[in-house]
Structure 1
Amino acid sequence: MSNDWKTEISSSGEDAVIRGEKLEKVMDMDFSDSIWLLLKGEKPTEEESEIFKAILSGSIDHGVGNPSTVSARTVQSGGNDMNTSVAAGIMALGDSHGGAIEEGMKILQSEKSAEEIVEEYLESGEKIPGLGHKVYSEKDPRTEKILEKADSLGLSGRYVEKMKDIQEAFADEKVRLVMNVDGGIAAVMSDMDWDPELGKGFFIIARTPGLVAHVREEMDRPDFRREDGEYTGEQ
């Protein structure tokens, strides 16, 4: 096995750099700006910096009942370490929880029209990424905030409009569903020319601090938390 790793991302040592910027200068940047630099290879504009900060902050945590938080706290209650418990939470992120950003970006950046996208998903019976939410029925306040900010910053473009068109097309064909935060993020990040393959990464980065906080709180609770369950089989 070769140890000859090569990367254009960063270097280590006394002259360490991140995407060509000296580490000392990166340390003076806002954390969200350094994340942008690391992932995209360039510094954000003032407008991009502001919306990216809102996107990360808006996804930092969302209560105790979602799959990733429940998973992280459950694993911690079994007597595991911080890294194991947080990793369990991250592993619980999937297509129905945080993972819809990637798929949403893919369909938005495709050549298919909103109507074609809705038709395909209706025929397959699958959920359209970015639409619907377990808690919000009328509007997702996180999505509203992100879209309003993107519009005020001049960052709202054809992909935001396409996401709205998908929402309207689905309402015409079946039922009106709220555009969730995944849909809002997918649209705005697409308008800022990001690759869909980073979709899940955005959510992982944003949600990890929340998982750390929940795991730390769980450390002060009794070990081995057992939830009530109901046997529904035959006697």
Structure 2
Amino acid sequence: MTGEPTVQEVADWWATAVSRVEPDVIELRGRPIQEVIADTSFVGVIWLLLRGQSPTPAQERLLEAAMVASVDHGPHAPSIAVARMAATCGIGLNNAMATGVNLLGDSHGGAGEQCLEMLTAITSRQADGEPLESAAASVVDQWRARSKYLPGFGHRFHRVDPRRAPLLERVSAAVADGVVDGGFLRAANAVEAILAGGRPRPVPINIDGCTAVVYGELGFAPPLARGLFVLSRSVGILAHAWEEAGQGRRNKGPIPPSVTPTFLPL
């Protein structure tokens, strides 16, 4: 760009295929908003905006199940706890929500993305001709060399995550119906079998792993697994922040005022 920018150059700077907004016109991926309002669910709109086309009813139901499963895990979750505290500090509901969302990092909120990366690596090796069990073992070894935590497996509260069965059953049904291929489900089952070897108790797949399977089967890239989780968990963050705001408490801290933190002298 040389000289003064033209109007067209400025318009091209913000070129987008996501939406078109002009006087009296709103379109999402080329569809008039009037049509979208009339026939598309919120989850369907998420798919439309991210993928550029509408999902099939079966794809939409599977995506919705994964997003419903992730909405909340109570004040044990740091994102929920901090949103509730923020709601008592004289800031707006949007600020409280942003506070919670901003805690969704690699350790809290990122396991789904990481698990999908791991499962993608397994399916990629399979596509190159490596048997499933060998591919899964190699990728698990690589991840274990990086961290003692394998993303998407095991849970600090649940021996078996109560969200596991309903989600994986839906994926299995979708495989049987030809909606998805099943490669990510098979990869996750292979990892689960590896982790169960030689242990008195298995290390079952958790919500992050289950949603990684769903998002992988539906063709979402690993970074979008975290983005979709953030959208889902925002519902719980909003509900908790709103509940806390209505309780009238001011400046809520992480522990009750009657409890004094342990002092550890140097």
Bucket of the pairwise TM-score, normalised by the shorter protein: over 0.9
Cα pair 1:156 1:188 within 8 Å, conserved: no
Could you say which residue in structure 1 is the equivalent of 2:131?
none
- Which of 143, 149, 152 lines up with 2:173 in the alignment? 152
Q: Give the 3 Å change call, closer, same or farther, for CA 122–23 of structure 1 in structure 2.
A: same
> Aligned pair 1:75/2:100, yes or no?
no
Could you say which residue in structure 2 is the equivalent of 1:224?
251
Could you say which residue in structure 2 is the equivalent of 1:134?
156
Equivalent position SS for 2:105? coil
CA shift for structure 1 position 156 = 5.8
CA shift for structure 1 position 76 = 1.4
Name the amino acid aligned to 1:6: A
Give per-residue Cα distances to partners, 1:145-201, cap 9 Å, x unaligned. Answer: 111112123336011110111111122266621211110111121112111121111
Work out the CA distance in 2 between the residues paired with 1:123 and 1:196. 21
Alignment of 1:1-235 (within 5 A): 4-13=13-22, 14-28=24-38, 29-110=40-121, 111-112=124-125, 113-137=135-159, 139-154=160-175, 155=180, 157-172=182-197, 176-221=202-247, 222-226=249-253, 227=255, 228-234=259-265
Name the amino acid aligned to 1:19: R
Report the more deviating stretch, 34-43 or 56-65. Answer: 56-65
Cα pair 1:75 1:88 within 8 Å, conserved: yes
Q: CA RMSD in A?
A: 1.9
Work out the CA distance in 1 between the residues paired with 2:68 and 2:250. 31
Unaligned 5+ runs, structure 1: none
Report the more deviating stretch, 212-221 or 152-161. Answer: 152-161
CA shift for structure 1 position 89 = 0.4
CA shift for structure 1 position 230 = 2.2
CA shift for structure 1 position 229 = 4.5
CA shift for structure 1 position 95 = 2.2
Work out the CA distance in 2 between the residues paired with 1:173 and 1:11. 57
Could you say which residue in structure 1 is the equivalent of 2:128?
none
Q: Give the 3 Å change call, closer, same or farther, for CA 71–232 of structure 1 in structure 2.
A: same
* TM-score (norm: length of structure 1): 0.92
Work out the CA distance in 2 between the residues paired with 1:132 and 1:210. 22
Cα pair 1:98 1:200 within 8 Å, conserved: yes
Give identity over the alignment, percent.
28
Cα pair 2:66 2:214 within 8 Å, conserved: no
Which has the greater radius of gyration?
A: 2
Cα pair 1:131 1:183 within 8 Å, conserved: yes
Work out the CA distance in 2 between the residues paired with 1:192 and 1:86. 28
Report the more deviating stretch, 173-182 or 28-37. Answer: 173-182
Name the amino acid aligned to 1:7: T
Q: Give the 3 Å change call, closer, same or farther, for CA 156–67 of structure 1 in structure 2.
A: farther
Cα pair 1:147 1:156 within 8 Å, conserved: no
